[in-house]
Structures are given as structure tokens and as C-alpha cells.
Chain A
């Protein structure tokens, strides 16, 4: 075969085109639809009002994550409005024959943690969810992206989406991650480089030696934040690391079927000579642990750096945005990041709540104490991650150090449940968004890696984790 060389993204997209017609978006088939309680009730209501069925309930998986309390699972949810959403999902899942990983189920968890954990997320798939961090699943070489509630209804009804094919963009890394540096530092640095709209309209493919060396957990962290660079999705070609992760997962093929799947999955890579619509190179040579200083994830500096001075920015829009951000964050230009003191630390979210993230943080917390000024919280990404961490004794390490150890959920990443920071409180967070009010009205969020968050909890301020390993 001498077919035109194509990118990983093109291959997967073209395999899913149900209908292509001049003057219309492509109609693409969706292999897996993930559903949670916050963005689905109106979609089911629309479906029910029109008397439509869910076309492929077996391609639909539901869980509760955004609203759920992370304290006591035995008690009823105190918030009546949240309860209504959770109950709506229970009713809708039951009515339409959709599997629901409910509170109390040993597979419940953040939707983007449990999909991979179950082996439901696999190479070459198209995956959607009413949540922008669906890009996480691209770590397996799937096309995975967030959609709105109208499109959730569309997928429930038709198992398809009408969509213009996005453009492709290669993010090519030079060099490798040094000791103490993580996938989170790599992706925060990347967003700082290309900007929060740098990937708009594109599907990114992350490539290079540094990416190949990442675990699946690390790759998920990278792809998770593709949306923070404005990208439609992010992808990483599947390889042995991917296949080893998937082997034996409950929903992955088993035995001979697994070997056959690996043979197919191995063809999912960008051909030599394939063209991307855009290419950016990111050099990792001088990379340091990263800390955000502002109110979007692109406002990021190395931990040895200082709060930037808006006056140094040439573009008036960028200057105005930076000034607003500093005012909200209560920071003075020129302040060394390592002098910024913290009130809270949050380790969790679909970006950094997997077992490896918790191991990294626990490695720093072991035998140390959280600074008395700091309230520190660890929220595992899933009930299964929590159980695995407890089996390894990570919960003891965190508790002994003075961290709170919670049940799984989205928690303080977006503060839809009771886990919020107060006005003016400053939080080092392993989550993905430092937007105004994200963790609570007036709360100030700084994004960091799990190891950096643990080091910050101990020091009560930002500190280079590499000096504490």
C-alpha cells in the first residue's frame, strides 16, 4: 500500500466518518459517550420530551463526580439541588439502560479517571463527554473532546455528531524531563508558550522522546490540559506503555482478542512524511517546576521566577489582562514566586488524582508536616484509586503529615460541592483552571504538579520540590 502519509488524528477521524457531504460538517460516529450528573439532565429531558431512545446504551457510561460530597458517603447529599441532579441521572440511566457507577460503587470516580481505569477508553476510538477535560482520553490515541449539552442529546439520540474536521497541530518536544519534573510542568510550560488560545481549532499531537518516556498517568495529565491551550483535543500515539496499561482492565479485550487489538492499535501512528497544519517545537532543556501566577493557565512562570510586570508586555490587551489578573490574585509585580504564602493545598482533579500522582505527592509528604497555616486536602480521582492508595499506605503518609484524606470526586477543582476556598484565600492546586472564582468566589488558585503541591503544603509557600526530594 502506498497511501498518502497521514497523521494519527486523520486516521482515527477518517475511520469514523459516517457521511461526508459538500457544504456540511462531517457526520462522525462516536464509540464511547461518558455522562455525568451536571451536563446531562437537560439532554435526557430533551430526549424524553421527543420520545426518543438512547441509540446505543452499551456505548454510554455514566458516573456521578462533579457534585458529590467527598466527606461521608453513607450520609445523604446535603444540598437538595445537587441531589436532584444526582437523582435525575439515576432515573435517566435506569430508564435508558445505561450503566451508572453511582456513589457507593467501587468503580465510581471522576469520569476521566474511570474511563481509562475500566479499559473503556481504548486506542483509535472517538470519545465524547459533556465536559471539556474529555481531552484526557487522547492519551490513548483516541480522538476525545468535550461537547455541550445539546450535543450530548445529539449523541444519545444518534450515536453521532455533526462536526467540521479540526486542523492538526504537532507539538514536538526536544529533550527529556529532568529529575523532579513532571507531565504537569511540561504541559503548563507548553500552554505558557503557545497561549490559552494557541491550539484553537486544532487537535494536538504530542510527540518526542519526553512524551514516549511518560507513563499513561503522565500522558493523561498532558492531554487533559489540551483544552487549556484552547485545543479541540490532544492525542498521543499508542505504544507498549499504552498496551501494558490496558491489559487486564475490566472492559478491555482479553486473551487472543487483546493480542489482535494490539496489532490494530499498533497501526495508529503518524506516518513518516505526514503533514500537520501547524507545528510547534518546545524545548525542555531548561525546564523547571512550573507555577501559575494569574487567572488563566497560560500565566505561568518557573518556580525560581517572579510575578511578571504587566508594564513589560507590549500588547495592550495582554497588559490589561495581566493587570486584572494581578489585582484579583493580590500579587505585586516582581515578587519571587517562592515568597508567595499559601492558605490551602488541593491535590486532586481529573488532571492529577491518579495513583502515580498520589505516590509523587506522598513521596514528598512522607515524614514531614503540613505547615500549620495551611489546610491541605487530598481527593483521589476514583474509588479504585483511593483503595489502591490505601493498600500502599499512602493515606497514612498523608494523614500523618496533616493532610485530609477524602472520598473521590471533582471536589475543589471547581467547588460545586462543599470543598471551596474562601474569598482571598490562596491555594496551590493540582487541578487545571486558575480562573477567577473557580475554587470559590474570590479564591486565588495557583496550578502546580502534585509533588510541588505537597512541597508547598509543607513549606507554607512555593518551593522548588527538587530541593526536597
Chain B
């Protein structure tokens, strides 16, 4: 296997605190506001995660935001409402989540580009049925410090009290997470096929429009 260009950390099992963010349609402008997109680096975005919800304009923490409340610091799992990550394609959203230390986001559904960006960065966007997410949110709100274990190998999620649920994710994406594979390494192995496609496209009529 080719070396990855930015080193995806394999994701097999995550056990950690759940931060509940009970909001639907959380867009990537909220996950990381535009003023932090001007950097040319890939690292260091965790400090800006949810900036405008998390901090006052003067930089002091907003106590009404979950990540600033006792019991949720160092959360490894984020739970949220449906259509999480909608809007802008900025991968900075996934970078800020990973850099903060979150490796699993649980929601009833995810926006397409955000979901893809998660997989590119070794984050599991775990879609669970709406009522199960509601249960996780409620337990995490009621018991700050509530933790879950997500097992990507076994495709299960569960807590210490015995709640346990199986889930399904795309097998290809699961394998990439488990092995820390990146798409570029995989595709570069198919170079000869890409070249053949380009040669074919150049001679076939439909290819001429390109």
C-alpha cells in the first residue's frame, strides 16, 4: 500500500465522552467560521471549532455552549441533530473536529460533502435512527460525562449501562477507517487503468467534448 500523504490514523475503537449538540442542520459555517479559512496549514484548527458559539467576540468562553460546560471537556464523540455538516464544502470543518479530539460524530443524517470529508480524515460519521440519537442526546445532557464505546470492527455502539446497538456502514469506508487508508494511495495503484481510459476517451465520440 502506498504511503498516505497526510497520515490517517486508523480508527478501530473509540471510547469517550459524548458532547450533545441538540441542533438540526448544523452548517459548516458554524463548525468553523470563515475567518479561520485563510491558513495554509492542515493542523491546528481544534481551537476554532464552533468558534462563534463557543466564544464571545472578546475570546472568553460562552458558558451556555456544551464544550465549555463541566463534564464535556475532552469529548471524543459528538452527537447532534439531523443533516449535520450542511453547507460549505470546507474540509476545515472535519479538520477542526479531528484536531479537537473528536473521532466519531453521531447524528440521524449527514450532509454529503461533510460525510465524505470525515472519512478522508479518519472520522466516523455515524448515522443512527432518529430515536436512538435522541436517546443518546438525552442521556448525555442528563449525565455530563456520559460515555460511549464505538467499535468500528464489530460495528456496534454501546454504553456502560448496557445499551448497545449494531450499525451498518459502507464496507469500503469501514475498511479504510480500520486500516487508515487514503483514497489517493488506492487510486494511484490504478494508474494504468486511468491511462487506458484517457486513451479510449480521446478516440471515442463522447470523449471529444472534453
User: A-side interface residues toward B, CB under 8 Å?
Assistant: 15, 18-19, 23-25, 27, 29, 31-32, 38-39, 41-42, 45-47, 49-50, 55, 66-67, 79, 81-82, 84-85, 88, 122-125, 130-132, 145-151, 153-154, 157-162, 164, 166, 196-197, 200-201, 227, 230, 232, 257, 260-261, 264-265, 296, 317-318, 320-321, 324, 414-416, 423, 433, 435-438, 441
Contact = CB atoms under 8 A, between A and B. Distances in A.
B40 A124 contact: no
B96 interface: no
Nearest to B84: A197
- A-B pairs, top 3 by smallest CB distance, nearest first, are A148-B91, A150-B120, A41-B40
A123 B40 CA distance: 34
A397 to B, nearest CB: 31
Interface string B1-44: 00101100000000000000011110101100111011111100
Contacts of A264: 205-206, 208-209
Contacts of B109: 197, 200
Contact of A85 (B38, B193, B194): B38
25 contacts: A15-B206, A18-B194, A19-B193, A25-B172, A45-B42, A55-B194, A124-B206, A124-B209, A125-B210, A130-B91, A147-B89, A149-B91, A150-B184, A158-B194, A161-B183, A162-B186, A166-B112, A196-B25, A197-B83, A265-B209, A317-B82, A414-B88, A416-B37, A433-B87, A441-B52
Contacts of B52: 436-437, 441
A158 B184 contact: yes
B116 A151 contact: yes
Contacts of A15: 206
B23 A46 contact: no
Contacts of A415: 34
B24 A317 contact: yes
Contacts of B89: 39, 130-132, 146-148
B194 A200 contact: no
Contacts of A317: 24, 81-82
Interface residues of B, number: 60
Contacts of A41: 40
Given A148-B91, A150-B182, A196-B25, A67 B38 contact: yes
B188 A27 contact: no
Contacts of A321: 23-25
A324 B209 contact: no
B83 A200 contact: yes
A416 B38 contact: yes
Interface in B118-158: 120-121
Contact of A435 (B23, B87, B191, B193): B87
B149 to A, nearest CB: 27
A160 B22 CA distance: 37
Contacts of B25: 196-197, 296, 321
A294 to B, nearest CB: 10
A169 B22 CA distance: 30
B193 A151 contact: no
Interface in B65-98: 81-83, 86-91, 94
A164 B116 CA distance: 10
Nearest to A14: B206
B50 to A, nearest CB: 11
A132 to B, nearest CB: 4
Given A38-B38, A164-B170, A414-B34, A441 B57 contact: yes
